[in-house]
Structures are given as structure tokens and as C-alpha cells.
Homo-oligomer: A and B are copies of this chain.
């Protein structure tokens, strides 16, 4: 499949893998296309699939007292995985959704983990991906814990300005850990 190219060259930079590993991995990949706002994974299912964003934007969210809370946004090449479900084999209370018309690579987790026995380099690639996700989560934790809502918004503006323009503000707000209303005020007062 041709849409796999950019993803695999991204992998290659992180951790080169043998051509055999590469083709075994490609075997497992399915490219799926989703419409705007379509659900990729529903709440309640145990996560058994690892996704990568090829094009478009995805998000992971859950319900907290009837209100949607966005936990993560995925841009092209980003891993999308409900880690707490996949790694603990318990049902996830989170859903994955496409925010735009999107292409996504789906890899069945069990089969991928099976490949790790033959292809040491694949396991390493995967370990590095997890490590990066871990580091990013640690950063998010620090920010949420010790910056004000306004500072978090500023930081997001610096680091991912495109995000604010492409994604409905209500999702950005819950990602920042605040309400739509507060975000609107913060944005209002610098104008």
C-alpha cells in the first residue's frame, strides 16, 4: 500500500528494522478510511488494535459525568492506543474518533506482539514508541498540575498552533482540563 510510505520512513528513523520484519509488519497493516466525526473504536471494548494516524486528525476521549473529556489528539504519524486497556487487557472507557476525513493504519496487537519473538528489532521499535508516549504523558502531567489554565493555553499555542485552528474549541478546552467557557474567556482577554 502506498499510503504506508511516510509512516514507515518515520519508523525507519526511530529504529531501523530488517526487510523481513518490515514485510511481516506490512502484512498486518490495514489502512482504513473514516469520515469526519466517525467513531474508530467505541467505549467499552477492550483495546486489541494499535493505530497510527496516516492523514487527518484523531482523538481519544471519555465521558466524565456525561461530559466528553479529550485525552489525546493524534496527527499524522502519531500512535493512537488506549494504553491502559491494551496493556491491562481490561475494557476501555475511552473511545477513538476521527475529527476529519482520516486515513488510519490498524495493526492487531496480538499478532504484532507475536512478531516480537522473531523480530527483536520490531520489539525495540515498539518500545521506543511507548517510551516517547510515556515521556509526553509525563510532560502533560507536569503542565496540568502546575500551570494555570492560561499558561497551559499559551504553551499549547506555542507548541502546536495548528491544533487550535483545526479542532473545535470545546475539544481543545477539555484537553487543557478546563471548560469551553473558561477557554473562551482566556482567548477573549488578549484581544
Interface on A for B, CB 8 Å cutoff?
A: 64, 69, 71, 83-84, 87-88, 116, 120, 123-124, 126-127, 130-135, 137-142, 144-146, 177
Contacts and interface: CB of A to CB of B under 8 A. Distances in A.
A162 B142 CA distance: 25
Contacts of A138: 83-84, 137
Contacts of A141: 137, 140-141, 144
Given A130-B130, A144-B145, A145-B177, 6 more contacts: A69-B146, A123-B124, A126-B127, A130-B131, A133-B134, A140-B141
A125 to B, nearest CB: 11
Tell me whether chain A's interface is mostly helix, strand or loop, or mixed. Answer: helix
